[in-house]
């Protein structure tokens, strides 16, 4: 007996949802198997994004090298990772103090990182420093500090692990950058400059090491929203309020940043699928990226015009 036409669309939606669920489950399982036994270095591992990454890769069986500026916070993260996991299925992370603001220590840092396991399979460069101020109020010392943390530090660590990756013809370097490495907005001059420099460096590096089988990825995201998600009030779940709930959801997508868990999952997918360039942002910055590349002189694309009320990084 033929199905009524009104039933076709709901059934297709249910089937698509089922296939999507199965796909996500398969990808989740593959994520764990693909990183097993891989040596993964995460800088600024004690940050929200770094800790979420550490949880994902640790559960997947990776050999983690967690880097940060505070030993106490690294030990706390170590305890949280090893408390609820099976020692037979996971590896105890190794901890390394890394402070990109102290460039004189980078030679020792590179040696310590590479000595942990003798090689590095995945390097996740997550460290970042933000600065919002008028150009004339930023000192040269502040400019140098933000360039050390956002550009010189990550590029120096990448250079340090590069020779062993090239000799093994295997390795993946991931830069967690900002959308401001592609778009510049007012009062972010030093920050945007450092992010543009890092973006250009790793774009060049990608082209140079491709012949050795290495992968270089950049993930450009909007600002990190570390606030916990709040469930909607009970009355908002009533049928009469569904329209306003939808409006709030859409507005949230346009104004809220990227949650650490979402970015961490994107990093895991980038490792597994070897993506080269990822933009994790709501539609407005994406449209601005396209329009600025096609119509750079257009006055409507002035950063001040579309940055008002938005937080990009």
CA–CA distance, 67 with 100 (Å, rounded to integer)? 11
Q: What is the pLDDT of residue 236?
A: 46
Active-site residue, 191 included = yes
Neighbours of 46 (CB within 10 A): 19
Residue ranges and CATH numbers for the domains of the chain are: 29-223+258-283 (3.40.50.720)
Q: How far is CA 223 from CA 38, 128, 200, in A?
A: 29, 11, 20
Q: What is the pLDDT of residue 115?
A: 96
Burial class (CB in 10 A: 0-12, 13-18, 19+), 31: buried
Indicate which residue of 21, 23, 191, 212 is catalytic.
Answer: 191
First to last CA, the chain: 57
Residue 16: per-residue pLDDT: 81
Q: Look at residue 300 in the predicted model and tell me its pLDDT.
A: 46
pLDDT (0 to 100) of residue 309: 45
Specify the pTM.
0.79
pLDDT tens per residue across all 313 residues of the chain: 555 666 777 778 878 877 766 766 565 555 556 899 999 999 999 999 999 999 999 999 999 999 999 999 999 999 999 997 777 788 999 999 999 999 999 999 999 999 999 999 999 999 888 888 999 999 999 999 999 999 999 999 999 999 999 999 999 999 999 888 888 888 889 999 999 999 999 999 999 999 999 999 999 988 777 664 444 455 544 555 555 655 555 555 545 678 899 999 999 999 999 999 998 877 666 777 777 767 666 544 555 554 544 555 6
Q: Are 157 and 113 in contact (CB under 8 A)?
A: yes
Q: What is the pLDDT of residue 15?
A: 81
**What is residue 120's predicted lDDT score, i.e. its pLDDT?**
97
């Amino acid at each position: 007996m033929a199905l009524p036409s009104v039933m076709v669309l709901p059934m297709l939606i249910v089937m698509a949802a089922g296939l999507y669920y199965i796909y996500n489950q398969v990808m989740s399982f593959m994520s764990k198997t693909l990183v097993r036994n891989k040596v993964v270095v995460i800088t600024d591992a004690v940050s929200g994004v770094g800790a979420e990454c550490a949880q994902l890769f640790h559960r997947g069986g990776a050999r983690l090298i967690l880097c940060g500026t505070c030993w106490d916070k690294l030990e706390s993260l170590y305890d949280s990772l090893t408390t609820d996991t099976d020692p037979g299925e996971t590896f105890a992370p190794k901890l390394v103090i890394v402070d990109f603001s102290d460039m004189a220590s980078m030679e020792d840092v590179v040696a310590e990182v590479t000595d942990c396991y003798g090689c590095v399979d995945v390097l996740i460069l997550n460290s970042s420093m933000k600065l919002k101020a008028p150009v004339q109020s930023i000192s040269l010392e502040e400019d140098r500090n933000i360039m050390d943390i956002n550009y010189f530090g990550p590029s120096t660590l990448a250079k340090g692990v590069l020779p062993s990756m090239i000799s093994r013809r295997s390795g993946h370097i991931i830069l967690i950058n900002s959308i401001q490495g592609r778009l510049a907005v007012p009062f972010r001059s030093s920050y945007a400059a450092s992010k543009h420099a890092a973006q250009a460096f790793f774009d060049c590096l990608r082209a140079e090491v491709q012949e050795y089988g290495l992968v270089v990825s950049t993930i450009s995201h909007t600002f990190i929203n570390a606030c916990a998600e709040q469930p909607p009030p009970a009355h908002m779940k009533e049928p009469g309020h569904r329209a306003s709930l939808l409006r709030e959801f859409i507005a949230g997508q346009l104004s809220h940043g990227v949650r650490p868990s979402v970015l961490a999952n994107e990093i895991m997918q980038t490792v597994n699928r070897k993506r080269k360039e990822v933009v994790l942002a709501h539609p407005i910055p994406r449209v601005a990226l396209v329009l600025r590349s096609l119509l750079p002189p257009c006055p409507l694309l002035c950063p001040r015009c579309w940055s008002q009320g938005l937080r990009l990084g």
